[in-house]
Amino acid sequence: KITLYQPCIEGKEYKEKFPTQGVQRTMQLLELVHFDTCGLIYVGTYLKFNYFIKFIDDLTRHFHIPFELWYKRQSNLSYLKIFGCKAHVFISNETRKKLDTHSHEAIFLGYSEESKAYRLMNILN
């Protein structure tokens, strides 16, 4: 396991320019498909399933879980929760002094539905 030196992470942080317009990577349906295997979920379903697979078409950004395709109905995902993980937020040059750290710790909460952004919770305040 590699351990990272915390001051090194905070001191080397920099900000990439974020594209204002989205880049379309595909031109046809199913040209690029992303998939994600989620699990091991310790509370299984009544059929003892502890994993699920998610497929997302890059062009439409619609996703289907195989359960929905096989059984022609939506699955109940209300019990799933987004778990927080440690993230580092960039501090812009205007809001920090010369010797201040370039980032601070936050908790990752998920992605925005409306724009190309993500949600973070500041643990300092």
**30-58 confidence digits (pLDDT tens):** 788 888 887 777 766 667 777 778 777 77
pLDDT at 27: 80
Cβ contacts of 98-103, under 8 Å, gap ≥ 24: 101/7, 101/10, 101/11, 101/13, 102/10, 102/11, 102/12, 102/13, 102/14, 103/9, 103/10, 103/13
pTM of the model: 0.36
pLDDT at 67: 76
pLDDT at 6: 64
